[in-house]
Amino acid sequence: MSSSELPVPRPFGSSHQVVIGSITWGYLRARPAGKVKGTVLLLHGFPDLPYGWKNQVPLFTSLGYQVIAPYMMGYSQTSSPSEVEEWAHKKVAAGLAALLDQIVPGEQVILGGHDWGGDVAWRFAMHYPHLFKGVFSVTLPYLPPATEYVDLADKIAAGKYPTWRYRLQWRDPSFDRKFQSAATIRQFLIAVRDGRTPEGKLGGTPAGLDLDVLPRLRPSALLDGEELDRFVAEYQRHGFRGPLNWYRTAKINFEDELPIARAGGHRFTMPALYIFARGDVYLKRELTTDMGRHFDKLTRAEVNTTHWALVENEGKEVNEALRSWLATLE
């Protein structure tokens, strides 16, 4: 079954596409049973899809919010253009701003993201603060613009970001070509979602994917069965080139944000929530220590999960943190 033939996944109620310039944006939508009191825009990360938020959507709709969850640039129902510049945070933010103007013109919404979606959420709120009544990120902290560009390989060599070595593997322009068939796409997805060999060896670590063990991996409970089948079908539409482009735009993003850095940085005036996952082996606590000085009103929460906080334990800890924070916005 192709991705275009897949049914709308629960708990979403409908699937849509909007053409903005040369880009087609796909998104899933869920509405509350009663009157809509606001909108939540949810941005997914990699390797994920909009229904990575499946455990959070019922929370938002139960509180009266409609949910808009786009396929991010390069994923399935959204375009995957040839130019890597299309994945720059500032350009993606402009596209998402236009998308909101098509769906909920003039409305201030609540913005949230996980993984790369969290990074885009911070940048989207930085470039378009007037669009949001609040912003939150699960696992990925706000990392402010810098005044000097240092390549990730040099940072790792200097002892900074030691848990980001996998990004060097994934940003390689030829890496996505290893995962073009349904079988190899499945292997990649299993590896990144904590798949293990029968002997218990992980396929993916902060050092990157162990390509030799991928064919022997077994799925974890984080992504298996029919949901894994759906992910494979969705990723077959564009492959991994587009999703992996998120790892190839560091210098472009630096150049876009350099004027902000030189002006002293950005300060968020809207309420913000950051949810830290204690068991995340990729995004460690030391990345979060300096966040507070960039916000007027930052709430911090912690959950006892790995990086995949949205789905572990059915997302209950994340939902508790979100429910408490949402109450402060009303």
Q: Which of 115, 119, 176, 256 is catalytic?
A: 115
pLDDT for the residue numbered 330 = 82
2 pLDDT exceeds 80?
no
Total Cβ atoms within 10 A of residue 319: 18
Q: Which of 89, 114, 127, 307 is catalytic?
A: 307
Q: What is the tens place of the pLDDT at every residue in 26-69?
A: 999 999 999 999 999 999 999 999 999 999 999 999 999 999 99
Q: What does the alpha-carbon distance between residue 70 and residue 102 come to, in Å, rounded to a whole number?
A: 13
Residue 3 banded pLDDT, cuts 50, 70, 90 = low
Q: What does the alpha-carbon distance between residue 88 and residue 108 come to, in Å, rounded to a whole number?
A: 23
Q: What is the tens place of the pLDDT at every residue in 177-197?
A: 999 999 999 999 999 999 999
pLDDT for the residue numbered 4 = 61
In 3D, which of 19, 18, 38 has the Cα closest to residue 28? 18
In 3D, which of 237, 240, 176 has the Cα closest to residue 24? 237
Q: What does the alpha-carbon distance between residue 136 and residue 121 come to, in Å, rounded to a whole number?
A: 8
Residue 5 banded pLDDT, cuts 50, 70, 90 = confident
**What residue type is assigned to position 218 of the chain?**
R
47 close to 188: Cβ distance less than 8 angstroms = yes
Q: What is the tens place of the pLDDT at every residue in 244-255?
A: 999 999 999 999
Query: What ranges in the chain are assigned the alpha helix state H?
Result: 57-62, 89-103, 116-127, 152-157, 165-171, 182-192, 225-236, 241-244, 250-262, 316-329
Residue 78 banded pLDDT, cuts 50, 70, 90 = very high
The predicted model gives 71-80 an average pLDDT of 97
Give Cα 5 to chain centroid, integer Å.
24
1 pLDDT exceeds 70?
no
Q: What is the tens place of the pLDDT at every residue in 271-319?
A: 999 999 999 999 999 999 999 999 999 999 999 999 999 999 999 999 9
Q: What is the tens place of the pLDDT at every residue in 108-165?
A: 999 999 999 999 999 999 999 999 999 999 999 999 999 999 999 999 999 999 999 9
Residue 242 banded pLDDT, cuts 50, 70, 90 = very high
Give catalytic status of residue 127 as yes or no.
no
pLDDT for the residue numbered 253 = 98
275 close to 309: Cβ distance less than 8 angstroms = yes
In 3D, which of 322, 277, 265, 330 has the Cα closest to residue 299? 322
Residues with Cβ < 8 Å from 163, sequence gap 6 or more? 206, 281, 282, 283, 284
SS3 235: helix
Q: What is the tens place of the pLDDT at every residue in 194-222?
A: 999 999 999 999 999 999 999 999 999 99
Total Cβ atoms within 10 A of residue 83: 9
**What residue type is assigned to position 92 of the chain?**
V
In 3D, which of 119, 207, 211 has the Cα closest to residue 164? 207
Residues with Cβ < 8 Å from 167, sequence gap 6 or more? 152, 247
Give catalytic status of residue 238 as yes or no.
no
